[in-house]
Structure 1
Amino acid sequence: MNEQDDQRNQPLLAALDIDGTLARPATLQIARPVRDAIARFLAVGHHVVLASGRSLVGVLPIARELGLDGWAVASNGAVTVRLDPRMRRGYELDDVQNFDPGPIVRSARAVLPGLQIAAERVGWGYDVTHLFPTGQLNGAQQIVSARDLAGRETTRLVLRGPGAGRLLEVVRAAGLSAVLAEEDWLDVTGPGLSKATALEKVRANLGVEPSRTVAIGDGRNDLEMFGWAAHAVAMGHAPEAVRAAADAVTGTLDEHGAVVALDALHVGAEPIFS
């Protein structure tokens, strides 16, 4: 067996975004073809790692529905867990990256006094300055004062409201990581974090070759993940900038684009890994 054939026999690591890639954010229902494609991919010895901007309590139900036993990345790389259905909680925390939200909370409120702010509490939900609409945050919400919220370390901070995009450079200038998910929604995590930083640690732990990594996603917070993967696949409905950053574009969510991409790998149609 030559080196090329040996490489083809090594497992792949597929990093999968959730919202807009595997499921519609409003319903979080995963279509049967998507579940079946993931099962086929796992059955031949490959790895699936969920990589989401969602908090841990938002990722875990998806992992359970898919029957995953391995790793998952939440909060845009700030939280990494080992999944094991045999455990009482079904997981154990592997890496949690906290930061001090105080300076950003104070700066943000000075610029936009009416801003809604949420700080993640891993495995539970969020402390919030105002209640967020149902479905916008995962888990429970507890209203606290901005001072109390600013005084507790967190893994992920959400800044929501008209003009939130104006704070992007303020956050980055403070040395923190930020993703403008929407014009009125800014996600903030600790310095140098992204889905890619967490996935690289997972890849090393799994012993997967860097050349055997693939990422499938549809959002701005997938761009670093695309740069990390040997092959990046954008969903057909993704913004133009996301599609332009990918090596390939698959179908939309309605067209089960993730199924097409995973099955192409599953059946061995892997010219990108040759």
Structure 2
Amino acid sequence: MSTPPAPALIATDLDGTLLQRSDTVSPRSRAALARAAAGGARHVVVTGRPVPHVRHLLLELDYRGLAVCGQGAQVYDADTHAMVSSLTLDRELADVALGKIEAEVGEVFAAVNQDGTDGLMLFEPGYQSPHPTLPAVRVSGRSELWAEPINKVLMRHPHLSDDALAAAAGGAAEGLVTVTMAGPGTVELQPLGVTKASGLALAAGCLAVRPADTIAFGDMPNDIPMFHWAGHGVAMANAHPELKAVADEITTSNEDDGVAAVLERLFD
């Protein structure tokens, strides 16, 4: 493994990457990010979570930069508390995509993230969240999921694994939506062509930073496009095998401060 030069931009996923248990960032990781900032690097959070589910974390981190949220559909300015960009998923198209997926694999249970800085998360009957601490509203039927503009759909299957569901959904809904597997129990539908890479590219353009000068950290298949875009991709030890296969480097786990371990080496 060759050691990359100190990057101008550090892109970090949150869950399973920068965050430890209970949605916390360790003192070591905070110190490593502060050292990188003192060395001139910018930090961009790149997360599947929508803005309403990430703002409290950004406040706790005293984070003042751009954040890529909603799997790339949202670019949020944490300093001004405003959206730089927000893309929505056509709700009629999302309903059609779910129908095609169910024709392939049987019934799935769905949830949506509404658009905007204060958008709600809605669960249809039967949907069980892998993050039960996140605020959500349970509705009485699927039609209510489409009441307001959304940026993504989350779905779960009663029997299929996440990998199997993502693969089947990708085939059934090809050309309609982007399908990602973002974490345990988290298979998602986004606007076609929207990925973490597209959102990161927009944020990096605002900061005038090139892909070659970017290092990206992640743990799940939804981070693959970001790794392809960035000059150097670092997978956590706890990462999904598909991400490890395309990583330039594998660090220690999120619980063992894997992000900090790399940054300490680069900004010694």
**TM-score w.r.t. length of structure 2:** 0.85
Partner of 1:96: 86
Distance 1:119 1:204 in 2: 29
Q: Helix, strand or coil: the match of 2:37?
A: helix
CA distance in 1, matches of 2:112, 2:146: 9
The equivalent residue for 1:62 is 57
Deviations 1:94-144 (A, max 9, x none): 111112222123334555664221111133331221253472473332414
Cα offset, 1:145, TM superposition: 2.1
CA-CA distance at 1:150 after TM superposition = 4.1
| Aligned counterpart, 2:210 | 209
The corresponding residue for 1:242 is 243
Q: Computing the radius of gyration over CA atoms, which structure comes out larger, 1 or 2? A: 1
- Partners of 2:258 and 2:205 in 1: how far apart? 28
| Structure 1 segment 21-170 matched on structure 2, within 5 A | 21-24=17-20, 27-84=22-79, 87=80, 91-100=81-90, 101-111=94-104, 114-122=107-115, 123-130=118-125, 132-133=128-129, 135-136=131-132, 138-150=134-146, 152-161=148-157, 162-163=159-160, 164-165=165-166, 166-170=168-172
SS at match of 2:209: coil
Amino acid at match of 1:169: G
- Structure-2 change in CA distance of 1:32 and 1:104 (3 Å): same
TM-score normalised by structure 1 residue count: 0.83
CA–CA distance in structure 1, aligned partners of residues 183 and 56 of structure 2: 24
Match of 1:189 in 2: 190
Give, in whole Å, the separation in 2 of the partners of 1:105 and 1:256: 38
Unaligned runs of 5+ in 1: 1-7, 268-274
Shifted more, 226-235 versus 30-39: the winner is: 30-39
Equivalent position SS for 2:212: helix
Q: What is the alpha-carbon root mean square deviation over aligned residues?
A: 2.3
Aligned pair count reads 252
In the alignment, residue 156 of structure 2 is paired with which amino acid?
R
* More displaced 10-residue stretch of structure 1: 111-120 or 133-142: 133-142
Aligned residues of 2:216 and 2:226 also touching (Cα < 8 A)? yes
Residues 200/248 of structure 1: CA separation in 2 closer, same or farther (3 Å cut):
same
Deviations 1:45-65 (A, max 9, x none): 210000011121222222222
For 1:115 and 1:175, how far apart are their aligned partners in 2?
18
Higher RCO (CA-CA < 8 Å; seq separation 6+)? 2
CA drift of 1:41 comes to 1.3
1:116 partner letter: F
